[in-house]
Copies of this chain bind each other. A is one copy, B any other.
Amino acid sequence: MEPVILITNDDGVTAPGIRNLIEAVKDLGKVVVVAPDSPQSGMGHAITIGKPLRLDAVDIFEDIGVEAYQCSGTPVDCVKLAHDVVLHRKPDICLSGINHGSNASINVIYSGTMSAAMEAAVEGIPSAGFSLCDFNFDADFSIASKVAREVAERMLREEMPEHFLLNVNIPKVKAKDFKGIRICRQADAKWAENFDKRKDPRGRDYYWMTGKFVNRDKGEDTDIEALNSGYASIVPVRVDFTDSNVKKWLEKKYPDFN
């Protein structure tokens, strides 16, 4: 039977990145798209619980013969609705993206793209999020599309470990400078915020979030290092957040907690 490939993103159903992803994999199975009706960058793993959701069929990918729905909620809502309302079954794999901008390192926790893929992985659907390190609306997705297809083919070819989830980032490089795909760990980096304080026309303060990405990790096996060297990075991601090392430390330190 033809595999079912669920595709979603966080930049919204009209973003060039999702069309590139669909075109890259559409001959590998039956592709169904359920994506937000508006940009949802930075939504993390948000879900919509206080208000109802809309879900509507759209003909935006009719030209390439792909069924698509737009949803008023977050990327995670899209995956939940896709499973329960659109497909009435688990898709065989879930692909999210291609995001306009990096989700490497700590960005995994803010990213709607990765949260959608993570939601699918929690459900037991092998999943991958793809992000191109280029924020431009008219970025060149050709290398990213090839990487996405390569990864999707392998995910469909054989059984993956339980809760399988990949964070795949693609560098902004010319084809001749692209070095290949590398398996990495998440770099220990963070955003150093610097809020821009302004006054509104009524004299009241407001703040714009700005920030600088700070990589504290000098390791050669990180996603940031791979991207800087011209490789696409693959970081396998856990949905069990338990820190086993700290668990052991606590058990030893506090034997009265048992």
Contacts and interface: CB of A to CB of B under 8 A. Distances in A.
Interface string A35-55: 000010111111111101111
Given A77-B209, A257-B181, A239 B106 contact: yes
A236 B246 contact: yes
A154 B205 CA distance: 38
Interface stretch (A1-9, A20-28, A184-192): A184-192
Interface stretch (A60-68, A92-100, A136-144, A248-256): A248-256
A174 interface: no
Given A183-B247, A254-B154, A209 B48 contact: yes
Q: What is the total number of copies of this protein in its complex?
A: 2
Interface residues of A, number: 75
Interface of A is mostly: mixed
A173 interface: no
B243 A236 contact: yes
A245 B161 contact: yes
A206 B240 contact: no
A207 B53 contact: yes
A53 B244 CA distance: 37
A106 to B, nearest CB: 6
A32 interface: no
A176 to B, nearest CB: 20
Contacts of A39: 50
Contacts of A44: 43-47, 76, 115
A213 interface: no
Nearest to A207: B53
Interface in A83-142: 83-85, 106, 108-110, 115, 118, 122-123
30 contacts: A43-B46, A44-B45, A44-B46, A44-B47, A45-B46, A46-B110, A52-B198, A53-B206, A53-B207, A53-B208, A54-B204, A54-B207, A55-B207, A77-B209, A83-B193, A85-B195, A85-B207, A108-B241, A183-B251, A183-B254, A183-B257, A188-B240, A234-B250, A235-B247, A236-B242, A236-B246, A236-B247, A236-B249, A237-B243, A238-B243
The 10 closest A-B pairs by CB, nearest first: A44-B45, A236-B246, A44-B44, A52-B206, A238-B243, A236-B243, A185-B242, A46-B46, A44-B46, A53-B207
